[in-house]
């Protein structure tokens, strides 16, 4: 594990990650820091904790609304994939259960 020192919203943090994941970690830190700074700059939220929660909600919402670029699941949001897969597994279980 490699130690990585970062700053988010002006506070220093020391994180650990495998060397091959360092670039991805730094990109994630930049995204979180930018989002938190934007929320703080808007002036509607004052405490660091609330700013962090608002940033987390915004980033999670973006992640869950991502869509596959094309193909048969192109219209399915990333957050819906789990439900779709569980539904397909249920149908397979039903079909396999009646075939035995």
pLDDT in tens, 7-54: 999 999 999 999 999 999 999 999 999 999 999 999 878 899 999 999
Alpha helices in the chain (DSSP H): 22-42, 48-65, 81-99
CA-CA distance, 10 to 37, in Å (whole number)?
9
pTM, 2 dp: 0.66
The model's pLDDT over 60-97, given as tens digits with 9 standing for 90+, comes to 888 877 766 666 666 666 667 677 778 888 888 888 77
Report the distance separating Cα 58 and Cα 52, nearest Å.
10
What is the C-alpha radius of gyration for the chain, rounded to an integer number of angstroms?
A: 20
| Annotated domain spans of the chain | 2-99
The Cα 5–Cα 36 span in angstroms is 18
Dist CA 97 CA 91 (whole Å): 10
Q: What is the pLDDT of residue 88?
A: 82
Per-position b or e across 44-74, b if 16+ CB within 10 A of its CB: ebeeeeebbebbeeeeeeeeeeeeeeeeeee
């Amino acid at each position: 594990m490699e130690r990585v020192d970062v700053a988010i919203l002006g506070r220093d943090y020391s994180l650990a990650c495998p060397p091959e994941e360092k670039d991805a970690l730094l990109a994630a830190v930049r995204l979180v820091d930018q989002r938190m700074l934007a929320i703080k700059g808007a002036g509607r939220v004052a405490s660091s904790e609330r700013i962090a929660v608002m940033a987390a909600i915004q980033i999670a919402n973006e992640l869950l609304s991502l869509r596959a670029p094309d193909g048969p699941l192109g219209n399915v949001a990333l957050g819906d994939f789990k439900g779709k897969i569980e539904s397909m597994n249920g149908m397979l279980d039903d079909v396999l259960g009646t075939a035995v």
